[in-house]
A and B are shown apart, each in its own frame.
Chain A
Amino acid sequence: MAIPFDQILIQTVNGLVNGMILALVASGLTLIFGIMDVVNFAHGDLVMLGAFVGATTIAATGSFWLAFLVAALVIAVFGAALQASTLRPLLGRDPLTTILATFGISLVLQKYALWQWGPSARKIQEPITGQFAMFYLEYPWYRVATAFFAGAIIGAFWLFLKYGRYGIWIRATMQDRIMASAMGIPVPLVHTAVFAIGAAMAAASGVLFGPLGGVTQTMGFDFTLRAFIVVVVGGMGNLGGSILAAIFISLLEAYASIIVSPSQAVIVSFMALILTLLFRPTGLFVPTPSSSGACWRCRRTS
């Protein structure tokens, strides 16, 4: 069966755009897991809250970029408060406790959004309008731009982690909390800051995605599910792995949707998840424990 070239190219662009937005969401999620062992089921709802804050700011000021900044800042502060008040007391307990707690937070946030902003969907006007011809379609420039914005945010964050003083604190805490604490790094503060950064990244993706389909109180659900697949396939707590996995999974789905319906194409990401759990449970993009001698997580918990 011949696959039309136009479909391959269109789906490649779709896959890359979706992959970059997903990578931005998943980065926050994997960062939070990597440093605190918290599986944050409310991450998608932080995306949603960010989008609502962005929509409200745009309605008041008319500026997309201001809304982008305000949403990221507001949700970062909210995330820090949430971590300090709700999740910090649960650290070190059975992982099920944090899963249940974040699931509860997710329900509360959805209900709050419904009460605060009402049931009607909100609009975020895209800052870049216009389309370019791509075979039989007119492809919106904004979709392409979102991939670049997401890439720029992830890149800036990577540089911060690699070279920034506080970025080094975060990496040290991720590698070994006790040793980091012994070296004078304020571990609880790092935890709170990382949760705030993760929340801000979620809010940024909410504002970026808002113009593509409207803002509603349930928009986070789709993100949460897909981001979890990405985080597991990329390796729990592995930032680079999650970014690669987001692009890999999105492209896999996009290419599968050339042959089958896009709703059936989603199956391939679940297959990737199952195969990863069976054959490389540490993730596709991290070294296996046997090849590296000992994994950092093994050191942390032994």
Chain B
Amino acid sequence: MAERWRDEPWATDLWWSGKTTRRRVLGLGATAAGALGATLLVPPPWRAAFGQARPYKIGTMQPLSGPTAAGGKTALVGTQMAVERINRTGGVNGRPIELVIADYESKPDVGRRKAEKFVSEDRIDAHQGGFMSNVCLACMPVWEEHKIVNMIGVCLDTTITTTRCSRYTFRPFDYAPAQAVAFAPYLVNKLGKRWHIAYQDYAFGQSARDAYVAEIKRAGGEVVGGTGIPLGTADMTPFLSKISGNFDGLFGVFAAKDAVTVATQAYDLGLTKKYRWAGDGSIAESTNLPAIGSKIEGFIGQNRYLPVFEGPLNTSYHRRFFDEAVAALKKIDPTGPTPDRFVQSNFESMNFLKLGIQKSGFQGRQDSAKLIAALEGLEVKESDDFPQGDKSIRREDHQAFIRQFIFEMRGGKHRIIEVVPREKTVFPAACKFA
């Protein structure tokens, strides 16, 4: 005899059993529809300042759920800060910016679908954002097909502006080859000749690994081994416990949650004491530091942005950006972290788009060619729009070059030990636009 759970008294005695009537469903549906309708009648915040001016619709895709949600949420703060500031100060060409936000769940296939929705349903004028390199790469053909300018906010994969470059995609911050050009001489000359690279085994980590292998060799050193660790690995001990041998330094390329895991577990296994411990600055991002604690002491990294007021970062522009970012981050994170490079690059990326729109008289998607022409070769100076410093977008591959900071972690804080000017980070262009 099959069991009939629903017939048992304790299963039928529950308060909601048998009470879901058609009348009740219709009533609740009507109430929900009324509430939704009421929210549609409330004007968006920019309406009071701009009257009937048609907004620029800028789409931004970020991973707001899934393994990289933490990074996506902070990256979005940078974009939102820039948009709020633009709208507060009169908009662009007298028009406000309406930000359309999409969550791609840390998945390339979802990213691609959301990009297509942006194009066909939301009818965006341009896109700014992106976080995971594999998602940026998956979406680039969509922007190209529909002739939409794509201003990247975080993605670091080298091929975005080299072998897979697109006329419609711009990267207004650094990339792995430029970082390696800036950092490799310091690694080889000050820390050691022989290196082992541990990296996040997907587009970002693999790009950085290739760039550092080439530049460490060029600087007179050698990479003797590599360990790729899949994205989102909760326990990296099986990987890290295989790292042994005769080399001077362990170089890490990890971001977000994986950076916390590798920093913690490499310390626990004694690797950071046995070898010099260096790597991409994303390991020691300010948002990771509370979780890593003192285990990051002595780490030497390279980053385009640091939340400190030392050397060239001790400017009024940076202080204003920092204060505003801390207040904005506090709204999404009760621990109140300081801004990281994801906030900075999204903030500046949106400001690049603003300048391009101003300069080109861009009205909408049909003017993408004019916007591209305005952005190519665009030089910007250190300012409230660009608190990180001067930068320019190279015409040949739409890649920017910016100054880099080499830092050491001491007392739980970043200490700048060398500033590499942007002229010394230049890497030859390797892009042929279709």
* A residues lining the B interface (CB < 8 Å): 7, 10-11, 14, 18, 88-89, 91-93, 107, 110-111, 114, 117-123, 125, 131, 136-140, 142-143, 177-178, 187-188, 209, 211-219, 221-223, 253-254, 257, 261-263, 265, 300-302
Question: Given the known A-B contacts A92-B5, A177-B3, are A212 and B293 also in contact in the complex, defined by CB atoms under 8 Å?
Answer: no
**In the complex, are the beta carbons of A214 and B11 less than 8 A apart?**
no
Within 1-55 of B, Cβ neighbours of A (below 8 Å) are at: 1-6, 8, 10-11, 14, 16-17
Question: Smallest CB–CB gap between B239 and chain A, Å?
Answer: 5
- 4 residue pairs, one from A and one from B, having the closest CB atoms: A92-B5, A138-B270, A118-B333, A119-B70
A120 CA to B286 CA in the complex, in Å?
A: 9
Mark B399-419 against chain A: 1 for CB-CB distance below 8 A, else 0.
000000000000000000000
Question: Given the known A-B contacts A119-B333, A188-B10, A214-B261, are A302 and B234 also in contact in the complex, defined by CB atoms under 8 Å?
Answer: no
**In the complex, are the beta carbons of A262 and B238 less than 8 A apart?**
yes
**In the complex, are the beta carbons of A139 and B65 less than 8 A apart?**
no
Interface assignment of B332: CB less than 8 Å from any CB of chain A: yes
**In the complex, are the beta carbons of B332 and A118 less than 8 A apart?**
yes
**In the complex, are the beta carbons of B71 and A119 less than 8 A apart?**
yes
Chain B CB within 10 A, most for which of A88, A214, A263:
A214
Contact of B70 among A89, A188, A216 (CB under 8 A): A216
CB closest chain-B residue, reference A213? B261
Chain B CB within 10 A, most for which of A89, A117, A122, A253:
A89
Interface assignment of B144: CB less than 8 Å from any CB of chain A: no
**In the complex, are the beta carbons of A120 and B16 less than 8 A apart?**
no
Contact of B268 among A111, A131, A136, A218 (CB under 8 A): A131
Contact of A254 among B14, B67, B238 (CB under 8 A): B238
Question: Smallest CB–CB gap between B333 and chain A, Å?
Answer: 3
Interface size on B, residues (CB 8 A): 58
Question: Given the known A-B contacts A216-B70, A218-B69, A301-B3, are A118 and B334 also in contact in the complex, defined by CB atoms under 8 Å?
Answer: yes
Q: A88-B11, A118-B332 are in contact. List 19 more A-B contacts (CB 8 A).
A: A88-B14, A92-B6, A114-B65, A119-B71, A119-B74, A120-B70, A121-B291, A122-B291, A123-B290, A125-B293, A136-B274, A140-B268, A143-B268, A212-B268, A214-B260, A214-B264, A217-B69, A222-B232, A261-B239
CB closest chain-A residue, reference B237? A14
Question: Given the known A-B contacts A119-B74, A253-B238, are A214 and B334 also in contact in the complex, defined by CB atoms under 8 Å?
Answer: no
* B residues lining the A interface (CB < 8 Å): 1-6, 8, 10-11, 14, 16-17, 65-67, 69-74, 201, 228-230, 232-239, 241-242, 244, 257, 260-261, 264-265, 268-271, 273-274, 287-288, 290-293, 332-335, 337
Q: Which residues of B contact A131 (CB under 8 A)?
A: 268-270
Q: Which residues of B contact A121 (CB under 8 A)?
A: 70, 257, 260, 287-288, 290-291
Question: Smallest CB–CB gap between A128 and chain B, Å?
Answer: 11
Q: Which residues of B contact A110 (CB under 8 A)?
A: 65
A136 CA to B244 CA in the complex, in Å?
A: 7
A136 CA to B269 CA in the complex, in Å?
A: 10
**In the complex, are the beta carbons of A263 and B201 less than 8 A apart?**
yes
CB closest chain-B residue, reference A302? B1
**In the complex, are the beta carbons of B273 and A138 less than 8 A apart?**
yes
Question: Given the known A-B contacts A10-B241, A137-B270, A221-B232, are A119 and B11 also in contact in the complex, defined by CB atoms under 8 Å?
Answer: no
Question: Smallest CB–CB gap between A131 and chain B, Å?
Answer: 6
Question: Given the known A-B contacts A138-B273, A187-B10, A214-B292, are A120 and B232 also in contact in the complex, defined by CB atoms under 8 Å?
Answer: no
Q: Which residues of A contact B234 (CB under 8 A)?
A: 209, 213, 219, 222-223
Contact of B291 among A88, A89, A188, A214 (CB under 8 A): A214
Q: Which residues of B contact A223 (CB under 8 A)?
A: 234
Q: List 8 A-B contacts (CB under 8 A).
A: A18-B235, A92-B6, A119-B73, A119-B287, A136-B244, A212-B265, A212-B268, A214-B292
A7 CA to B70 CA in the complex, in Å?
A: 35
Contact of B66 among A143, A213, A218, A219 (CB under 8 A): A218
Q: Which residues of A contact B69 (CB under 8 A)?
A: 114, 119, 217-218
Q: Which residues of A contact B261 (CB under 8 A)?
A: 213-214
Question: Smallest CB–CB gap between A300 and chain B, Å?
Answer: 7
CB closest chain-B residue, reference A107? B65
CB closest chain-A residue, reference B287? A120
CB closest chain-A residue, reference B293? A123
Q: Which residues of A contact B17 (CB under 8 A)?
A: 89
Q: Which residues of A contact B270 (CB under 8 A)?
A: 131, 137-138
Q: Which residues of B contact A262 (CB under 8 A)?
A: 238-239, 242
CB closest chain-B residue, reference A142? B268
Chain A CB within 10 A, most for which of B239, B260, B292, B334:
B260
**In the complex, are the beta carbons of B290 and A120 less than 8 A apart?**
yes
